[in-house]
Each structure stands twice: as C-alpha cells, then as structure tokens.
Amino acid sequence: MMVKIKNSISIGSFLIFIFLISSFYFSEKNIKSTQKVRSFYLININSKIKSLTLLKNDTSNIIEHSNDLNNFKKKRKKRFWEKLLTN
C-alpha cells in the first residue's frame, strides 16, 4: 500500500514539474523576454563590429614555392623493384 502511494506521489510530482516547466517555457512573457534579450545582444554586437578597425592586408607574396619534392626524387637512390615497374 505504501509503495503505491509513494509511486503515485512521485509520478504526480514529476507530471506537475513537467507541466510547470512547459507552461513557463511556452508563455508569452518568456517568449517576449527572450526576443528582447536576443535583440539587445544583436544590437550590441553590431555596434561593436562597426567600431572595429580594419587592418591593412600585408600578406601578399609571403608564400615561397620550392621544388623540394623534385629535388628529393632526383637525389633518392632508385630501388630494384622501381626499375622493374617503370619498364
């Protein structure tokens, strides 16, 4: 008898908890406050982005290309089976 009462109380409290959480989450007050906070952050981020300074691009012609692979192939000793595959 006590087990049934304990189980029904726990299930009832769980259902009440789910109902209260969902009613708060889907309430108009919560939706409006969430939209207000999101718009505030959007405005704040946009104003900070506009105040950022742009730096001059000084990265042109930095990469130097080399033929290291070709040099390695020329210096490397050919193996017997590689000669067989090329013929």
String of DSSP letters for 13-70: HHHHHHHHHHHHHTSHHHHHHHHHHHHHHHHHHHHHHHTPPPPP---TT------HHH
Contact 17, 23 (CB under 8 A): no
Domain ranges of the chain: 1-49
Q: How confident is the model at residue 87 (pLDDT cuts 50, 70, 90)?
A: low
Tokens found for residue 67: 């033929």
CA angle 43, 45, 49 (to 5 degrees): 115
Per-residue pLDDT tens over the stretch 5-32 = 999 999 999 999 999 999 999 999 999 9
Q: Which residue has the tokens 């889907």?
A: 26
pTM of the model: 0.50
